[in-house]
């Protein structure tokens, strides 16, 4: 089946100080609005892509209103059809199957046969972070691959789960109970859908909340493995909370920061009584493994 479709584009050129106002005026009609600096000029081109042909009179009214707000004459605009694109084919090219350690990650469009002996994760690149392509996610998966050679945790926590890729990998690798939390409602929905898609929904509890304060995280016993692929600053701030939620001899896989920040992230966790047991570098990003 083809994913080809025709879209319509509205285009206009305005000075930088008023770009925000005209972008906002196009948003009700468009699925995407972009800005580009005009080469050899100080003005910016604002473009909005519409699923169907917009009503020119509606566009004129919206642009006139924006112009009145910023005290500017209404700019000229063009509205034209954009040649059809095969979005499904482009998605396949943009997200080819990916192998990371024992894991084989592919989208729902993949029609081939996964390599024998691999842990297969089905995931489409979408609204929530985590398709396996980013170096920080890849680093986490490599760390989990290493840990799986010697550990069989009974409980796993994924803080900042995004698409749910790490939680799914944990559920498939260790067949353990996994709690996954994120402060973004979209990520929570996507992670739940992906857990169902990968047939591990019965082993993954996905909840909405802010880090370790999320209601789903509460547990009488600590977690054997904690996964957290977020950013350096929140990781440093939550170091003591991580320690309190780790079981004795528990380990944590931490990622989402560039190489130059890894020592600062480690120092915060050493101050909380954790020690380094491993580090993975990948394309300028670092992943560290610490334990109690």
In this predicted model, what pLDDT tens digit does every residue of 186-208 receive, in sequence order? 889 999 999 999 999 999 999 99
Q: Are 155 and 77 within one domain?
A: no
Domain count, the chain: 2
Helix ranges, the chain (H): 19-26, 56-69, 87-94, 135-147, 165-174, 185-197, 232-237, 239-245, 262-271
Q: Are 161 and 57 within one domain?
A: no
Q: Are 173 and 275 within one domain?
A: yes
Asked if residues 162 and 182 have their Cβ atoms less than 8 Å apart, the reply is yes
Q: Which two tokens stand for residue 54?
A: 């917009």
In tens, the pLDDT along 282-291 reads: 888 899 999 9
Task: Reduce the DSSP state of residue 152 to 3 states and report it.
Answer: coil
Look at residue 263 and tell me if it is in a domain: yes
Q: Are 65 and 189 within one domain?
A: no
Q: Which domain holds residue 192?
A: 132-291
Q: Which two tokens stand for residue 52?
A: 């169907």
Q: Are 147 and 44 within one domain?
A: no
Q: Are 48 and 191 within one domain?
A: no
Q: Are 267 and 146 within one domain?
A: yes
Look at residue 120 and tell me if it is in a domain: no
Q: Are 137 and 45 within one domain?
A: no
Residue in 172, 86, 88, 76 with CA at minimum distance from that of residue 125: 88
Look at residue 99 and tell me if it is in a domain: no
Look at residue 121 and tell me if it is in a domain: no
Q: Are 81 and 140 within one domain?
A: no
Q: Are 81 and 138 within one domain?
A: no
Q: Which two tokens stand for residue 161?
A: 């789960």
The CA distance from 248 to 280, in Å, is: 23
Provide the pLDDT for residue 89. 55
The CATH number covering residue 163 comes to: 3.40.50.150
Residue 277 above 70 pLDDT? yes
The CA distance from 282 to 134, in Å, is: 9
The CA distance from 53 to 212, in Å, is: 47
- Strand pairing report for 223-229 and 246-258: parallel
Look at residue 102 and tell me if it is in a domain: no
How much is the CA Rg of the chain, to the nearest whole Å?
A: 23
Instruction: Confirm whether pTM is higher than 0.95.
Output: no
In tens, the pLDDT along 112-148 reads: 888 888 999 998 766 556 566 788 898 999 999 999 9
Look at residue 117 and tell me if it is in a domain: no
Domain edge (last residue) among 71, 87, 103: 87
- Provide the β-strand partners of residue 255: 229, 287
Domain edge (last residue) among 87, 117, 140: 87
Residue in 285, 291, 241, 245 with CA at minimum distance from that of residue 270: 291
**Average pLDDT in the 230-245 region?**
94
The CA distance from 269 to 34, in Å, is: 41
Q: Are 153 and 250 within one domain?
A: yes
Q: Which two tokens stand for residue 232?
A: 């350096």
Look at residue 147 and tell me if it is in a domain: yes
The DSSP code sequence of 62-128 is HHHHHHHHTT-PPPPEEEEEEEEEEHHHHHHHHS--EEETTEEEE-TT--S-PPTT-EEEE----SS
Provide the pLDDT for residue 3. 47
Domain edge (last residue) among 24, 53, 87: 87
Q: Are 158 and 80 within one domain?
A: no
Look at residue 100 and tell me if it is in a domain: no
């Amino acid at each position: 089946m083809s994913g080809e479709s025709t879209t319509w584009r509205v285009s206009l050129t305005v000075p930088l100080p008023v770009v925000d106002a005209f972008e906002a005026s196009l948003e009700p009609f468009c699925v995407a609005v972009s800005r580009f600096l005009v080469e050899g000029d100080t003005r910016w081109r604002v473009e909005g892509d519409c699923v169907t042909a917009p009503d020119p009179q509606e566009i004129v009214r919206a642009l006139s209103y924006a112009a009145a707000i910023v005290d500017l004459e209404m700019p000229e605009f063009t509205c034209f059809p954009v040649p059809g694109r095969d979005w499904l084919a482009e998605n396949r090219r943009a997200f080819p199957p990916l192998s990371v350690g024992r894991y084989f990650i592919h989208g729902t469009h993949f029609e081939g046969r996964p390599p024998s002996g691999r842990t297969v994760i089905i995931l489409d690149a979408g609204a929530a972070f985590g398709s396996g392509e980013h170096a920080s996610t890849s680093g986490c998966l490599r760390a989990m691959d290493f840990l799986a050679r010697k550990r069989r945790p009974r409980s796993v926590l994924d803080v900042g789960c995004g698409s749910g890729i790490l939680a799914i990998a944990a559920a498939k690798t260790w067949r353990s109970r996994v709690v996954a939390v994120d402060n973004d409602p979209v990520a929570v929905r996507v992670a739940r859908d992906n857990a169902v898609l990968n047939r591990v929904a019965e082993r993954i509890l996905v909840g909405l909340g802010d880090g370790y304060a999320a209601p789903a995280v509460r547990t009488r016993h600590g977690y054997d493995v904690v996964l957290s692929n977020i950013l350096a600053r929140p990781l440093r701030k939550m170091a003591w909370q991580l320690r309190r939620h780790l079981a004795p001899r528990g380990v944590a896989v931490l990622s989402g920061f560039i190489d130059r920040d890894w020592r600062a992230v480690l120092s915060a966790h050493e101050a909380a009584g954790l020690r380094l047991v491993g580090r993975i570098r990948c394309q300028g990003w670092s992943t560290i493994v610490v334990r109690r």
